[in-house]
Amino acid sequence: MGYSHKQYLFAEYLMNRFGVSDQEFIQQFLDHYLSKYGRWTPSMDGRYNYFDVSAAIDSLLMEQNIKRNRYAIRKKEVRREYTTATDLSAFAFCPASYSINKSFEIPKTSNEREIGLGNYFHDQLNLLKKIKDVGVQKIETEYDIEADVFVLDDSCLQEIYSSTLIFNGHSLDTRKIFLNHETNVACVPDYIFQDIKGNNFVVEEKYHFYRDPRKLTYDEKLNYIEPDDIGRQRVLDRKSQIFHINHIIQVLAYIKNIIDYKIDYGYLVYWYYDFKENDENRTVPYLHKVSKKKILFDEYHRKVYSRAVHSLDGFLTSGRLEMRLDKIQPKKCAGCSVTQYCGHKTKKYTELSIPYSTDYLSLDNVEFPEELKKER
């Protein structure tokens, strides 16, 4: 399950064209690209399934195309109005990604599928299903509702389930933007609840794809090997306790800036999903794990939040920022929604501008691999 030798050579050649030369980086990037784009697909005669990597190669070709025509990218005016909690989160994720998103009109980001799934799960209002007195109305989506069964241990959410919903950011009737005119920060949290002690808290949900540990691997199925589902579950249990700093900053922004209610703390909730085939042989997503982190605006988090705000402010004021090259990681870049528009994953540029300069998007002249020439 992976690239053929020739597919890998071609993908590596394209990465070299983009200016990425570190072999280790390329390998990890391409591996992660596969998990994002690769699909098990039925063969023409329907007798077997094969792992189709063509979407990963197509995405790299699309990046080459964008960079070839970089002067045709439509620009946006970078405005300094309200900073949103999501801006702070995006900036903390990667300043280059933030700058690209603010500078370019991007017709199609490379993680539309993830965004679509996130919206689907949000529309299903998983968190509200177990809360009393909330009339949850499911929204019909392209996926079968039958896949949406709770097959996970959600006991860690008990404190949320026993609270009262005050604000639902996913309801068209009650949704509003909380503006803080003093800090110029705008917030739309997923939910605000009141706990049984009368304290208010925000909840922010994030959805991550992660293979269900209970699923047998290809080898386990084929060779009747004893499944290591317990080992895999332990790995996921450990992973699910790691919460990304950019998401924490988003929750801190809500606690700090929402003034319509006094927000005492926040919860970050991570849901993990996988896919399965339903009775009609359609692949449908389902949730199999959930974890949560309680976040207080304490001294430590106050410093974390202030650093993020000052750094973003300085960037917008000066239009320049020094990129931390150690923060540019292959997996993160492969999963990034604007990777096709980014020149910083090459690690060639230590400076970052806003608006994002198209000069960062130049292509290198690289010899086409001999082995592939025969096929042209």
Residues of this chain that interact with ligand SF4 (CB under 6 A) are 94, 96-97, 100, 328, 332-333, 336, 338-339, 342, 344-345
Measured from the CB of residue 33, what is the shortest distance to ligand SF4 in angstroms?
Answer: 11
Measured from the CB of residue 338, what is the shortest distance to ligand SF4 in angstroms?
Answer: 6
Measured from the CB of residue 367, what is the shortest distance to ligand SF4 in angstroms?
Answer: 25
Cβ-based nearer residue to ligand SF4, 33 or 193 = 33
Measured from the CB of residue 339, what is the shortest distance to ligand SF4 in angstroms?
Answer: 4
Cβ-based nearer residue to ligand SF4, 100 or 258 = 100
Measured from the CB of residue 344, what is the shortest distance to ligand SF4 in angstroms?
Answer: 4
Measured from the CB of residue 64, what is the shortest distance to ligand SF4 in angstroms?
Answer: 15
Cβ-based nearer residue to ligand SF4, 253 or 338 = 338
Residue for token pair 């692949």: 283
Phi, psi of 338 (to 5 degrees): -120, 25
Cβ-based nearer residue to ligand SF4, 164 or 362 = 362
Residue in 90, 7, 10, 15 with CA at minimum distance from that of residue 345: 15
Q: Tell me how far apart the 2 most distant CA atoms of the chain are, in Å.
A: 73
Cβ-based nearer residue to ligand SF4, 88 or 96 = 96
Cβ-based nearer residue to ligand SF4, 90 or 295 = 90
Cβ-based nearer residue to ligand SF4, 97 or 257 = 97
Cβ contact 335:111 at 8 Å: yes
Measured from the CB of residue 203, what is the shortest distance to ligand SF4 in angstroms?
Answer: 26
Measured from the CB of residue 336, what is the shortest distance to ligand SF4 in angstroms?
Answer: 3
Cβ-based nearer residue to ligand SF4, 127 or 342 = 342
Interatomic CA distance for residues 104 and 363, integer angstroms: 18
| Three-class HEC string of the chain | CCCCHHHHHHHHHHHHHHCCCCHHHHHHHHHHHHHHHCEEEECCCCCCEEEECHHHHHHHHHHHHHHHCHHHCCECCCCCCCEEHHHHHHHHHCHHHHHHHHHECCCCCCCHHHHHHHHHHHHCCHHHHHCCCCCCCCCCCCCCHHHCCCCCCCHHHHHHHCCEEEEECCCCCCCCCEEECCCCEEECCCEEEECCCCCEEEEEEEEEECCCCCCCCHHHHHCCCCCCHHHHHHHHHHHCCCCCHHHHHHHHHHHHHCCCCCEEEEEEEEEEEEEEECCCCCEEEEEEEEEEEEECCCHHHHHHHHHHHHHHHHHHHHCEEECCHHHCCHHHHHHCCCHHHCCHHHCCCCEEECCCCHHHHCCCCCCCCHHHHCCC
Count of CA atoms in the C-beta half-sphere (13 A) of 171: 13
Measured from the CB of residue 50, what is the shortest distance to ligand SF4 in angstroms?
Answer: 29
Cβ-based nearer residue to ligand SF4, 15 or 165 = 15
Cβ-based nearer residue to ligand SF4, 120 or 360 = 360
Interatomic CA distance for residues 376 and 370, integer angstroms: 10
Measured from the CB of residue 277, what is the shortest distance to ligand SF4 in angstroms?
Answer: 33
